[in-house]
């Protein structure tokens, strides 16, 4: 049975442009097809991104523990673990994936993300180290990357833990 909306809501519908109405229909379709609310679908997407972060950390740990260790490659994987974990949190907080660019992501950390660590600087620094590891020829020795890899491992471990707690606090099941 249909309900009549209050006048203000009807005005909102009556003044909607074609693209907005198309977006509403797509939202209804997504909800109908999945049997989930849009909020639940957002949580599923964030959880999947968090699990991608977890996989990146898993691979980084394997690279770091291998004999011989692959420190330079581990640096790269630890950065992506951090990037995807925070991207999931930013996605939930901002209700969209509008800040996924690597240089922009750290600027949009949710203000209610657990305090205690300057994640904006940690993410910026991790990205710079990852860029060096991925694109620069020097230092040539993989051993020279050990300190960076170990430091990024500690940051990735903490960020994955805190991001998991954060997403759970927002109703996402991980």
pLDDT per residue as tens digits for the range 5-56:
788 888 888 898 999 889 888 888 888 898 989 999 999 999 999 999 999 9
Domain boundaries, given as residue ranges, for the chain: 7-36, 38-169
**pTM here?**
0.90
CATH superfamily assigned to domain 38-169: Nucleotidyltransferases  domain 2 (1.20.120.330)
Rounded mean pLDDT, 86-103:
96
**Cα R_g (the chain), whole angstroms:** 21
Residue 89 token pair? 């949190």
Query: Residue 106: its pLDDT value, please?
Result: 96
State the Cα–Cα distance between residues 45 and 77, nearest whole angstrom: 21
Cα–Cα distance list, 139 to 20, 66, 75, 85, 130 (Å): 52, 20, 14, 28, 13
Query: Residue 7: its pLDDT value, please?
Result: 86
């Amino acid at each position: 049975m249909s309900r009549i909306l209050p006048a203000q809501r009807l005005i909102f519908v009556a003044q909607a442009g074609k693209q907005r109405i198309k977006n509403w229909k797509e939202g209804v379709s997504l909800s109908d097809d999945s049997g989930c609310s849009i909020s639940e679908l957002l949580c599923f997407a964030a959880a999947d991104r968090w699990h991608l972060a977890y996989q990146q950390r898993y691979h980084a740990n394997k690279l770091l523990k291998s004999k011989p260790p692959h420190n330079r490659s581990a640096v790269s994987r630890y950065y992506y673990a951090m990037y995807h974990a925070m991207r999931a949190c930013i996605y939930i907080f901002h209700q969209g994936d509008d800040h996924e660019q690597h240089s922009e992501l750290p600027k949009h950390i949710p203000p209610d993300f657990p305090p205690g660590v300057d994640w904006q600087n940690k993410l910026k620094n991790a990205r710079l180290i990852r860029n060096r590891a991925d694109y620069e020829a020097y230092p040539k020795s993989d051993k020279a990357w050990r300190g960076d890899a170990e430091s990024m491992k500690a940051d990735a471990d903490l960020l994955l833990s805190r991001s998991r707690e954060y997403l759970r606090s927002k109703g996402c099941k991980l």
